[in-house]
Structure 1
């Protein structure tokens, strides 16, 4: 289940918008082999608030587009595709029958700015950032070039299957 909260007032968040994001989340998780009940929290903020969160959590005093806070621990550099089918998670990582994957913080203001900068739709940018964040929740990273190539390829594969293109 995707839980959303809107803490910004610069861009409208409609039920239709949340439905689209939910479908993107569900599809990305399914593509990654997550076939169990899950829980993700998604917080919509503006640039000012994401800058504060980025500074508090990462000591980086600037705005960013999306932040991901995975609940599960993964070995560095290892992606656990399909592990959800064969792994018995400790109750620490569950809320009832839902596996808590983590939290995402998305600056809708930054997404709008980037959609203009990159010359594609706002919907495409938000969808990209959601997929990007979900992959982080599942253990992907982009700190080294090899991992970045893998992650970028996976993001594009998922978005292309959803027919969300540039």
Structure 2
């Protein structure tokens, strides 16, 4: 289950946009081996709100495009599909029968700016940011170069399978 909460008023989006986000997120999760019911919250905000959240959670006082708040911890260098069968999903991570994977906070305002900067559609940029953030929820990171290559490769594989082009 994907819960979407639109708390911004700078970029107008509707039900079709929400369905696309849900489909992209669900596809990315399935591609990464999530075969059980799950919960993810996606919060759409503007640049001011994401800057506040970024400052509160990371001590970085500026806007960003997307923030990910994973609920699960993974062994160093491992991602969900590497550990799923051996992972003890105790009640801490469950909401009924659903595995709680975490939260995504995305600035639609920043996504719009970046889509213009990169010369592709707003929808493509948001879909990329959703895939990027989903991968973070599943244990991917890009702090080390080898991890960055692994994450970027997976992003492109998923977007290619979804036929989402630059």
Instruction: Normalising by structure 1, report the TM-score.
Output: 0.97
Question: Is 1:50–1:64's contact at 8 Å kept on the other side of the alignment?
Answer: yes
Spell out structure 1 runs of 4+ moving beyond 3 A.
Answer: 82-88
CA RMSD of aligned residues (A): 1.0
Secondary structure of the residue aligned to 2:18 is helix
Corresponding position of 1:161: 161
How far apart, CA to CA, are the structure 1 residues paired with 2:87 and 2:144? 27
How far apart, CA to CA, are the structure 2 residues paired with 1:5 and 1:33? 25
Question: Is 1:33–1:83's contact at 8 Å kept on the other side of the alignment?
Answer: no
Q: Deviations over 1:104-143 (max 9, x none)?
A: 0000000000000001111100000000000000000000
Corresponding position of 1:152: 152
Q: Following TM superposition, by how much is the alpha carbon of 1:84 offset from its aligned partner in structure 2, in angstroms? A: 3.3
Corresponding position of 1:72: 72
Q: Structure 1: give runs of 5+ residues left out of the alignment.
A: none
Question: Is 1:159–1:165's contact at 8 Å kept on the other side of the alignment?
Answer: yes
Q: Deviations over 1:67-100 (max 9, x none)?
A: 0000001122222316435544100100000000
How far apart, CA to CA, are the structure 2 residues paired with 1:158 and 1:129? 12
The change in CA–CA distance for 1:85 and 1:26 in structure 2 (over 3 A counts) is farther
Instruction: Normalising by structure 2, report the TM-score.
Output: 0.97
How far apart, CA to CA, are the structure 1 residues paired with 2:85 and 2:15? 31
Q: Structure 2: give runs of 5+ residues left out of the alignment.
A: none
Question: Is 1:68–1:102's contact at 8 Å kept on the other side of the alignment?
Answer: yes
Is the deviation greater in 6-15 or in 84-93?
84-93
The change in CA–CA distance for 1:78 and 1:87 in structure 2 (over 3 A counts) is closer
